[in-house]
Amino acid sequence: MAEIYSEPYHLKINNVIAENQKKDLWEFEAFEDGRNLAKVIGEPPEYPLHFTVQNDFNEWWVVLKGSLTISIDSDKEIYAKSGDIIRIPAGNHEIQFTTNLDPSVRLVVTQKGSEQIIDTDEIESSSQSRYFSKSTNSIHISLDDVINEFESSPWTSTILEDERNRANLICHNTGMSNNPHWHPAFHEWWAVLKGSLTWEVGDNRPVINAEKGDLIFVPKGFLHKITTISDETSLRLAITNPEDIHIYTPDDDYAPPPKS
């Protein structure tokens, strides 16, 4: 059962996959943030699914492992691979997708209580010196295409923005850290899409070591410093609210006390 955590939370995606390895189809509710329900869904290879979405908000998916082919309202098929993002616009849409040759694992960012009506007959088996690019809000956001927009790192690209969320894709070089900051009014969370990073959060808490595919949740009010420790550049998707208010401080003295 998902919940809004009062302490930092680290979901190791490989552990979740290992716990569900004997299941062809599985779903894990990771957490809520007051605006979204984040859940992880695994599907077997070559698994076709057809369903209808009826809602008044945008839902979006991040492919964490594998790949899938998707069409929305019978439009042209989209091929999405690991790191790519699919946005399902608000409204009533017919969704058809098929996982490809390997098992697919995707992060689904939705709302609590949303309904997906499944047609079972169709089932056959904030850093220094960074540059912000313009928000795309496309149906399909290719990770490779976003990376190719930039000649060098570090950079940040705001790739999704609506009345509930802003999602920034952040690229940092080895050894680079963000400017430590905290948020007074919202919880922030991240999906690691490339590389290895550490999160130093609040006072007297263990350092979080995160790898590709992991999710990290930090409650509002916690100062956090994020550092890339892999030899390669890192990519992380940061999910905030649209106001995205950051309070930058030189040390913990100015931040509200971490919750005990």
* CB burial string 113-137: b at 16+ within 10 A, e below: eeeeeeeeeeeeebbeebeeeeebb
- Residue 113 has a pLDDT of 65
Q: Report the C-alpha gap between 206 and 183 in whole angstroms.
A: 20
H or E segment at 198? Answer: strand 197-201
In the structure encoding, which two tokens stand for residue 14, read together? 């490989």
CATH node for 13-122: 2.60.120.10
User: Is 132-254 the same fold as 13-122?
Assistant: yes
119: its two tokens: 């047609």
Residue at token pair 């969370």: 189
- C-alpha to C-alpha distances, 101 to 63, 66, 71, 209, nearest whole angstrom: 14, 8, 18, 30
- What's the pLDDT at 204? 85
Give, in words, the CATH class of 132-254. mainly beta
- Per residue of the chain (260 residues), give pLDDT as tens: 678 999 999 999 999 999 999 999 999 999 999 999 999 999 999 999 998 888 889 999 999 999 999 999 988 999 999 999 999 999 999 999 999 999 999 999 998 766 555 444 443 433 333 456 777 889 999 999 999 999 899 999 999 999 999 999 999 999 999 988 889 889 999 999 999 999 999 888 999 999 999 999 999 999 999 999 999 999 999 999 988 888 876 654 545 554 43
Nearest 5°: the CA angle 1, 192, 110 is 40
Domain ranges of the chain: 13-122, 132-254
Can you tell me which residue has the tokens 């930058």? 248
Instruction: Write the single-letter amino acid at 27.
Output: E
DSSP string across 69-89: EEEETT---EEEETT-EEEE-
- Assessment of whether the complete model's pTM goes beyond 0.75: yes
Tokens read off for 52: 């209808």
Written as one string, the DSSP assignment of 105-151 is EEEEEE-TT--EEE-GGG-----TT--EEPP---SEE-HHHHHTT-S
pLDDT of residue 53: 86
Question: Residue 193 CA to chain centroid, in angstroms?
Answer: 8
